[in-house]
Amino acid sequence: MNRGFAIASLAACIACSGSGIDPMKFDAVDAAGQDLRAEAHTNDTGSARFDERLKNFQTAIADADRRVSGGREKAALTSYADAAQMYQYFRRFRDLDRDAIGGMVLLRGANRPVALRYAIPFEERGGGRWVDRKTAMDMFRREG
């Protein structure tokens, strides 16, 4: 989850270094993102407050969306929104734990394109695609 959030923070910093951009518009988003990142790294599945932190991050992004103007600010906000999406995928794969057989999860429905989009390694067996849940979680942590 580090890379995606780091990219979002870097994008915001770069955007704020240009003229006419107010870095204060991103303070709440950055703080909520840091809280969420810390929760995601508390253990293999994130803490019990993870969903609350994710909602706070998404709310901060939505609030900032009403205040940003210009292409640079919008690009920085888009980077934060992408990081929030990555954390949603992290939560999705975390919640698949109950379906895991030996740590492997059968990819079904909306999870298949997510796994393909982020190049999560999978095995094909029995006509289905299976991913190691822990590997997927680790990849989302690195990406986000």
Residue 88 inside a domain? The answer is yes
More confident residue, 57 or 43: 57
Residue 45 inside a domain? The answer is yes
More confident residue, 54 or 118: 54
What is the C-alpha to C-alpha distance for residues 38 and 48, in angstroms, rounded to an integer? 12
Residue 120 inside a domain? The answer is no
Total structural domains within the chain: 1
Give the rounded distance of the alpha carbon of 96 from its chain centre. 16
Residue type for 17, please? S
Residue 108 inside a domain? The answer is no
For residue 9, give its domain range: 2-98+133-143
Angle at 135 between CA 81 and CA 119, to 5 degrees: 60
Residue 76 inside a domain? The answer is yes
pLDDT of residue 9: 57
Rg (CA), the chain: 17
Residue 69 inside a domain? The answer is yes
In this predicted structure, the answer to whether residue 29 has a pLDDT above a threshold of 80 is yes
Residue 35 inside a domain? The answer is yes
Residue 123 inside a domain? The answer is no
Q: Which of 24-38, 42-56, 115-129 is predicted least confidently?
A: 42-56
